[in-house]
Structure 1
Amino acid sequence: MNTLDQKTAIITGGNSGIGYATAKLFKSKGANVIITGRNAGAVNDAASELGVTGYISDQGDILAIDKLAEVVKADFGTIDIIFLNAGIANFAPFEQSSEGHFDEIININVKGVFFTLQKLLPLLNNGGSVIFNTSVNASVGMPNSGVYSASKAALIALSRVLATELSSRKIRVNCISPGPVETPVYEKLGLNAEEIAGFSKVLSDKILLKRFGQSQEIAQLAAFLGSDDSSFITGTEMVIDGGLIVNPVV
């Protein structure tokens, strides 16, 4: 069913994981899709595979964000959906968290997201949809995730302010907070296959449904929030975690 027909959507970090799955689903539902990412090869490959438009853009670089907004305006004019999906996940115990660790996560996950939306907002049509990809980590108190959890909690707080500020334009602003999802992020943390399997087993035992989520499952929720089917939903955080939040890891 083409519930996104005639809509133009931009998905940051759309070259892998949840972003890739969402771009694929949006495309199948009739949307004109734009993906972004900072790895040129990955973005170009994903755009070619999906049949969507890909732009190289580093969310940690304000000048790159400005350029992205200029290119989107020149090529598409306006957009209908902004899925702020790009982000990084690095973990360290509180007492061992360095200034560099803090700055990297906050720069990309908070500052980068903030200004990406600010620069793209003039292009968003009235009645459009803004979706933040946050995390259940903002609520569960997972050890070693202090800065990452804070970055996602900041986005949830921001989304509620923006839901109020943008209500006059009928723009809906919502958050998706996934639990553990099978994506390449665990490999990026430097874990080997055995470590990933052990980590997955510990977490899966805490999830009521006894498994990790799939990127496609998060994409389904993003497609709902981007469509007119969610026309009376704004200022909300939707948790999609298989029940982890009611059986936390701590």
Structure 2
Amino acid sequence: MLAASDEDSDVRDGKNVLITGGTSGIGLAGAKRIAAENGRVILTGTHPQRLAQAREAVPEAEVLANDAGDPDAADALASAVADRGGLDGLWLDAGYAAVAEVDEIDAAFFDRMMNANVRGPVLQLARLSGHLNDGASVVVTSSTSTYEGSGMASVYAATKGALVAMARGWASALAARGIRVNVLVPGAIDTRFRDFMREDVRESFERDVIGRVPLARVGTPEEAAAVALFLLSDDATYVTASQYAVDGGLTKR
């Protein structure tokens, strides 16, 4: 899917794709497929064990330690990709989730999540936009939490809703260069993303979500990654400023 045309010698061996937060879950599933299809992939993450596991799982990839919540991390990432010949794809997938009752939310809780989930992608795109090749594709990972109205996930939902709004603006701003910006909206996907929850809370949450999913199951990382890879590919050259839900019909979007 991501292999370039033989007529374009600059990317004959595949496209350059950077996936932030790609050392686990959906991003890692996408990286494996990009590598299998002869693309060149760079992954970022923060957890040492997951960084090591990603290097083992995708030995073809370059795996970098980079924390989206650090305001200096975007500059470091731009420096790291400066000599890569430009990016054909940028998947802003880094982020994390935490839940709290409304009266438990404090400034530290709010700032940490906003910094990682909103400021991080904003600065990443700002610093990396100059490294995007004309005609490149940007995919931003949001979440169905934006639309679910969970009382415990209000701040997380707000961060992911902000990404939807910003992606529309980015699509307009970058359109003159033929750069497309689209949003992946995963629902209940079988990843480690909810490991922060106590086991009993997580099981109850997942039962509740699955009970509202028309397909009556969670999705796989590969199923969600396949949609992101479509958006990153030349099969989606007339798709921009769009949202693609991968949620088994949960939000019916």
User: Could you say which residue in structure 1 is the equivalent of 2:81?
Assistant: 72
Alignment of 1:43-82 (within 5 A): 43-51=51-59, 52-74=61-83, 76-82=84-90
Please give the alpha-carbon distance, in whole angstroms, between the structure 1 residues aligned to 2:2 and 2:105. Answer: 46
Conservation of the 8 A alpha-carbon contact between 2:44 and 2:65: yes
User: Could you say which residue in structure 2 is the equivalent of 1:191?
Assistant: 198
5+ residue gaps, structure 1, are none
Amino acid at match of 1:6: G
Please give the alpha-carbon distance, in whole angstroms, between the structure 1 residues aligned to 2:171 and 2:231. Answer: 14
Conservation of the 8 A alpha-carbon contact between 2:2 and 2:14: no
Deviation at 1:235, TM superposition (A): 0.3
Please give the alpha-carbon distance, in whole angstroms, between the structure 2 residues aligned to 1:199 and 1:141. Answer: 14
1:235 equivalent in alignment to 2:244? no
TM-score w.r.t. structure 2 length? 0.92
Deviation at 1:57, TM superposition (A): 0.6
Tell me: CA distance 1:233–1:2, structure 2 relative to 1, closer, same or farther (3 Å): closer
Amino acid at match of 1:222: A
Conservation of the 8 A alpha-carbon contact between 2:214 and 2:250: yes
1:167 equivalent in alignment to 2:197? no
Deviation at 1:64, TM superposition (A): 2.2
Deviation at 1:3, TM superposition (A): 4.0
1:244 equivalent in alignment to 2:250? yes
- Could you list the per-position Cα deviations for residues 165-205 of structure 1 after superposition, in whole angstroms to 9, with x for gaps in the alignment? 10000000000001111111221x1322x443332212111
Please give the alpha-carbon distance, in whole angstroms, between the structure 2 residues aligned to 1:145 and 1:153. Answer: 12
Please give the alpha-carbon distance, in whole angstroms, between the structure 1 residues aligned to 2:198 and 2:191. Answer: 13
Amino acid at match of 2:198: L
Among 131, 135, 153, which residue is 1:123 paired with?
131
Deviation at 1:2, TM superposition (A): 5.2
Please give the alpha-carbon distance, in whole angstroms, between the structure 1 residues aligned to 2:48 and 2:74. Answer: 15
5+ residue gaps, structure 2, are 5-12
1:166 match: secondary structure: helix
TM-score w.r.t. structure 1 length? 0.93
Amino acid at match of 1:227: S
Q: Which stretch shows the higher mean deviation, 19-28 or 81-90?
A: 19-28
Please give the alpha-carbon distance, in whole angstroms, between the structure 1 residues aligned to 2:146 and 2:206. Answer: 19
1:245 match: secondary structure: coil
User: Could you say which residue in structure 1 is the equivalent of 2:143?
Assistant: 135
Deviation at 1:240, TM superposition (A): 1.1
For the aligned residues, what is the CA RMSD? 1.6
Aligned residues: 244
Amino acid at match of 1:183: T
2:64 match: secondary structure: strand
Deviation at 1:233, TM superposition (A): 0.2
Conservation of the 8 A alpha-carbon contact between 1:35 and 1:47: no
1:92 match: secondary structure: coil
1:218 equivalent in alignment to 2:224? yes
1:244 match: secondary structure: coil
User: Could you say which residue in structure 2 is the equivalent of 1:17?
Assistant: 25
Please give the alpha-carbon distance, in whole angstroms, between the structure 1 residues aligned to 2:3 and 2:223. Answer: 17
Deviation at 1:44, TM superposition (A): 3.0
Please give the alpha-carbon distance, in whole angstroms, between the structure 2 residues aligned to 1:210 and 1:10. Answer: 33
